[in-house]
Amino acid sequence: MKIGFIGLGIMGKPMVRNLLKGGYTVVVHNRSSAAVTELTGDGAIAGGSSSATAAQSDIILTMLPDGPDVEAAVLGPDGILEGAKSGAILVDMSSISPLVSQKISDACREKGVGFIDAPVSGGEPKAIDGTLTFMAGGDQATFDKVLPILQKMGSSVTLTGPVGAGNVTKLANQIMVACNIAAMGEALVLATRAGLQPEVVFNAVKGGLAGSTVLNAKAPMVIARNFKPGFRIELHEKDLRNALLAGESMKVSLPLTSLVQQMLISLMNEGKGALDHSAIVTFIERMAGIEVK
């Protein structure tokens, strides 16, 4: 089985490497040729374009920033559906609007191509070690065909419902993560202002009910002032924007999501959009006039 992989960013590159380690033949394409050159050195095959990559592949995987990027790669000129053969399967691992996933699924169906939306959670560290969490949407038969491939890149792969369900689940995940980071920031800023050592506070609470994967991953980064991106603020803002749009379409109020999204927009306006989303804490620090360190 030959796999096509389009989108070789922070997440895409290590995901391709795990597929190569798993014994798969992988054809790769990216807007930037540097990433393609890097991965061909690891054993991947250069695809040349989205269409050409799809033409050489049984399963096509996309890992792109947002819905318009996915639409362009799949539906646009020289896109995936121009090259994909009938019976191929497209798995979009991007975090996008569920409405866009359903639109792409309809276009794939007309071409005889299967479709799964399977956004991921875990950031760059879990992409590197192959322990990402996949939240998939689609039919059971198509999911079963791609499951072994996803398991080479993730430790948890769950079919959550029909097409679009994967991205609804991912939006729910992103709401929880963003609000968790913001709450952690407020707590550590308060503790620091009170004269406590934030690392001591972190160690004191992490074993209790406040403990979480988010806390364990992000508090040490904040305390060390390490905002090297595993997941960028600008991408998390995009996810919260999609969550708010989905909420509006379903008449669901998301007040905390809206508040944190406004924090992210403010940080982007400060030029911090490329920082790790743990830098949400800097918004709270600026209001308090103190740094957690």
The enclosing domain of 222 has a CATH number of 1.10.1040.10
**Distance, CA of 71 to chain centre:** 17
Q: Are residues 10 and 153 in the same domain?
A: yes
pLDDT of residue 265: 98
- What is the amino acid identity at position 287? M
Using the structure block, give the residue that is written with the tokens 């009170």.
194
Has residue 224 got a pLDDT over 90?
yes
Q: Are residues 127 and 192 in the same domain?
A: no
Determine which one of 170, 218, 238, 272 is catalytic: 170
Contact 272, 174 (CB under 8 A): no
Q: Are residues 52 and 104 in the same domain?
A: yes
Share of the chain above pLDDT 70, in %: 100
One domain for residues 51 and 176 = no
Hey, what amino acid is at 85? K
- pTM of the shown model: 0.89
**What is the mean pLDDT of the segment spanning 126-151?**
97
158, 172: one domain:
no
* Mean pLDDT rounded to a whole number for the chain: 97
Residue 146 domain-assigned? Answer: yes
> Is residue 123 a part of any domain in this protein?
yes
Residue among 82, 80, 78 at smallest CA distance from 92: 80
Q: 137 near 150, Cβ under 8 Å?
A: no
Cβ-based burial of 116 (10 A; exposed 0-12, middle 13-18, buried ≥19): buried
Of 129, 147, 162, the residue that ends a domain is 162
pLDDT band at 4 (very low <50, low <70, confident <90, very high): very high
pLDDT for residue 123: 86
- What DSSP state is assigned to residue 131? -
Structure confidence at residue 93 (pLDDT): 98
Whether 131 has a pLDDT exceeding 90, the answer reads yes
Radius of gyration of the chain (CA): 20
Residues 90 and 196 in one domain: no
Catalytic residue check, 170:
yes
Q: How far apart are CA 52 and CA 238, in angstroms?
A: 29
Q: Are residues 79 and 190 located together in one domain of the fold?
A: no
* Assigned token pair, 64: 């792109």
For the segment 228-237, what is each residue's pLDDT rounded down to a tens digit? Answer: 998 999 999 9
Q: How many residues does the chain have?
A: 293
| Domain end marker among 114, 139, 162 | 162
Q: How many CA atoms lie within 13 A of 229 on its CB side?
A: 14
Based on the fold, state whether residues 181 and 147 are members of the same structural domain.
no
Of 141, 162, 183, which one is at a domain's C-terminal end? 162
Domain hosting 239: range is: 168-288
Q: What is the CATH number of the domain that holds 137?
A: 3.40.50.720
Assess whether 192 and 63 both reside in one domain.
no
**Does residue 152 share a domain with residue 12?**
yes
- What domain count does the chain have? 2
pLDDT at 230: 85
Residue 293 lies in a domain: no
> Is the Cβ–Cβ distance between 30 and 55 less than 8 Å?
no
Q: Please write the tens of the pLDDT for every residue from 15-62.
A: 999 999 999 999 999 998 999 999 999 999 999 999 999 999 999 999
Using the CB atoms, write b or e for 59-90: b if 16+ within 10 Å. bbbbbbbbbebbbebbebeebbbbbbeeebbb
